[in-house]
């Protein structure tokens, strides 16, 4: 199957990457196919690497939005049928609390991370569309651009590095994202609320 996809993207280039990424991120499951193909084409045509990584990221975003839309319309009902209601409630609260971070982290992780469940959960939790899009672009873009860069920079050796250490690389990136998100939330909580400060000064004046 992978050989068939390789022959297809050889002819279609970035458009082929886009279509496969849409299918993989929505209704089909093609584990690691996007990763292998964006590396493969970037190695063959290094000058087109940004285009290949961009089209793969855009295709993943499109496919994710198809699932996200399903989550907004009836994803919560579907999730409660498949999973324990208490777990679904905890998942929705997680998205309402962490927002972007709850989408970025799983989008960075390689298979077998069940990313589609996180996408449905984001829709069910009514994460703002622009926030969801930004999170997917940051997560998937980091993943695909990073892999394509290694392929161009190190060639076959870069491909081998990705194969051997992809989980470690993804976990490190996810940990950095979590730490940055936690730090940002901590800073936000320490900032005084301007509206409260204004009300307080107004009451003191009276």
Q: Is there a contact between 103 and 127 (Cβ–Cβ < 8 Å)?
A: yes
Per-residue pLDDT at 79 exceeds 80: no
Residue 32 falls within a domain, yes or no?
Answer: yes
Within a domain: residue 63?
yes
pLDDT for res 200: 47
For the chain, the domain total comes to 1
- Taking the C-alpha atoms of residue 120 and residue 98, their distance in angstroms, rounded to an integer, is 16
Phi and psi, residue 127, nearest 5°: -60, 135
Q: Is the pLDDT of residue 186 over 70?
A: no
Q: Is residue 203 part of a domain?
A: no
**What burial letters (b/e) apply to 94-111, b meaning 16+ CB within 10 Å?**
ebeebbbbbbbbbbbbbe
What is the rounded distance in angstroms from the CA atom of residue 31 to the CA atom of residue 195? 48
Q: How crowded is residue 176: how many other Cβ atoms within 10 Å of its Cβ?
A: 11
In a domain, 59, yes or no: yes
In a domain, 139, yes or no: yes
Query: How many Cβ atoms are within 10 Å of 44's Cβ, its own excluded?
Result: 13
CA distance 143 to 18: 15
**Average pLDDT of the chain, as a whole number:** 77
Distance from chain centroid for Cα 56 = 12
Q: Is residue 42 part of a domain?
A: yes
Residue of higher predicted confidence among 118 and 113: 118
Residue 159 has pLDDT above 80, yes or no: no
197 lies in a domain? no
Question: Considering all CA atoms of the chain, what is the largest pairwise distance in Å, rounded to the nearest integer?
Answer: 77
- Cβ atoms of 44 and 155 within 8 Å: the answer is no
Q: Which is more confidently placed, 123 or 91?
A: 123
Token couple for 23: 């299918």
Give the residue, 128 or 102, on which the prediction is more confident: 128
pLDDT of residue 90: 75
List the domain range (segments joined by +) for residue 154: 2-191
Is the confidence at residue 74, as pLDDT, over 80?
Answer: no
CB–CB of 53/148 below 8 Å? yes
Quick one: tokens of 73? 């319309």
Please check whether residue 64 is in contact with residue 118, taking contact to mean a CB–CB distance below 8 angstroms. Answer: no
Residue 121 maps to a domain:
yes
Do residues 107 and 139 touch, judged by C-beta distance below 8 A?
yes
Q: Model confidence at 169, in pLDDT bands (50, 70, 90)?
A: low
**Counting Cβ atoms within 10 Å, is residue 154 exposed (0-12), middle (13-18) or buried (19+)?**
middle
pLDDT of residue 173: 67
Helices 33-44, 2-12: inter-axial angle, 10-degree rounding: 50
């Amino acid at each position: 199957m992978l050989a068939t996809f390789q022959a297809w993207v050889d002819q279609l280039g970035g458009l082929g990457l886009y279509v496969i990424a849409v299918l993989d991120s929505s209704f089909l499951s093609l584990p690691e196919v996007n990763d292998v193909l964006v590396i493969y084409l970037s190695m063959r045509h290094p000058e087109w690497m940004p285009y290949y990584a961009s089209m793969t990221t855009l295709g993943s975003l499109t496919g994710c939005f198809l699932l996200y839309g399903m989550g907004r319309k009836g994803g919560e009902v579907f999730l409660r049928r498949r999973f324990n209601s208490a777990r679904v409630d905890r998942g929705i609260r997680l998205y309402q609390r962490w927002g972007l971070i709850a989408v970025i982290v799983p989008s960075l992780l390689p298979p077998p991370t069940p990313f589609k469940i996180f996408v449905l959960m984001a829709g069910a939790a009514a994460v703002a569309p622009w926030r969801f899009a930004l999170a997917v672009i940051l997560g998937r873009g980091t993943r695909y651009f990073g892999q394509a860069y290694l392929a161009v920079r190190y060639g076959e050796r870069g491909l081998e590095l990705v194969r051997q250490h992809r989980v470690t690389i993804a976990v490190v990136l996810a940990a950095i994202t979590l730490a940055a998100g936690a730090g940002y939330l901590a800073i936000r909580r320490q900032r005084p609320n301007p509206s409260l400060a204004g009300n307080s000064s107004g009451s003191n004046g009276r």
